[in-house]
Amino acid sequence: MMITPNWPAPENIHALTLTKDDSIADLPRNVDLRLLQQVHENKIIEFPTPEIELKADGAYTHQANIACTIKTADCLAILICSHDGQEVAALHGGWRGLAQGIIAQGVKKFQAPAQELIAWLSPAICPQHYEVDQQVFNAFSGLEHCFHENRPGHWLCDLYAIARMQLQQAGIERVFGETHCTFEYEEELYSYRRDPTDPGRLLHVIWRR
Ligand SMILES: [Zn+2]
């Protein structure tokens, strides 16, 4: 069951999430696709790149038929495109990347002003199923309202709320998104918290023609 974002992207923008039933082989052959080695930091790679080792948590391109992709199992993927359909990016929104400002880094790559970008938030773990400790809470100074204290030293963390706040701070006003919790939709979605031994990942892909 491929998920396609419900967002007002231009007609030449293709975006989708591959779930448990889908295969990378289902994607069009003419789209160049290179997977990142995600390391929970904030580096963004611009495609095409001569680099062999793609240690990064975001990809950006303004060229046609080059895919930007992010793999997740509970983390958020953030897909962004410009209103003119010329630029796309995919960002890995785990707590570490978000705390290190990966959204601001990603928005900076665009030639288009932030007001002309739209963003889509992928399925991710919902706050009810995402309890975090003091280290995570402390990493989001000023965003305490995105956490709900659950028991002493532990908080329920709303990754969606954090991403929406940071997108707004970066100047993106139009944000769309999924509400499917990865932890809850066992049949379709991968969840690290539910099954840490499952190496499967959702693949979020965006490119332009
Ligand atoms: Zn949930």
Distance from residue 129's CA to the centre of ligand 1 (Å): 5
Give the pLDDT confidence score for residue 179 in this predicted structure. Answer: 79
Task: Using pLDDT thresholds of 50, 70 and 90, give the confidence band for residue 1.
Answer: confident
30 exposure class (CB count in 10 Å sphere: 0-12, 13-18, 19+)? exposed
DSSP string, 177-190: E---BTTT-TTT--
Cα(13)–Cα(65) distance, rounded to whole angstroms? 10
Distance from residue 137's CA to the centre of ligand 1 (Å): 19
pLDDT digits (tens, 9 = 90+) for 157-185: 999 999 999 999 999 999 999 779 999 99
Answer for the pair 1, 72: CB distance below 8 angstroms, yes or no. Answer: no
CA–CA–CA angle 41, 38, 103 (5° rounding): 45
Q: At residue 73, what is the residue type?
A: A
Token code pair at residue 128: 């009810």
Element (H, E) at 65: none
Distance from residue 75's CA to the centre of ligand 1 (Å): 12
- Which residues, 6+ apart, have CB-to-CB distance to 59 below 8 Å? 36, 44, 45, 46, 47, 68, 69, 70, 89, 90
Give the pLDDT confidence score for residue 80 in this predicted structure. Answer: 98
Distance from residue 188's CA to the centre of ligand 1 (Å): 14
Distance from residue 10's CA to the centre of ligand 1 (Å): 31
Distance from residue 189's CA to the centre of ligand 1 (Å): 12
pLDDT digits (tens, 9 = 90+) for 11-36: 999 999 999 999 999 899 999 999 99
Cα(176)–Cα(40) distance, rounded to whole angstroms? 23
Token code pair at residue 122: 């992928």
Return the residue matching tokens 């359909």.
85
Cα(123)–Cα(20) distance, rounded to whole angstroms? 13
Cα(29)–Cα(24) distance, rounded to whole angstroms? 10
Distance from residue 4's CA to the centre of ligand 1 (Å): 20
Residue 82: name the closest of 18, 171, 162, 2 by CA: 171
Cα(107)–Cα(93) distance, rounded to whole angstroms? 13
Distance from residue 173's CA to the centre of ligand 1 (Å): 26
Q: Is the pLDDT of residue 130 over 90?
A: yes
Q: Is the pLDDT of residue 101 over 90?
A: yes
Distance from residue 85's CA to the centre of ligand 1 (Å): 33
Distance from residue 179's CA to the centre of ligand 1 (Å): 9
Distance from residue 184's CA to the centre of ligand 1 (Å): 5
pTM more than 0.95: yes
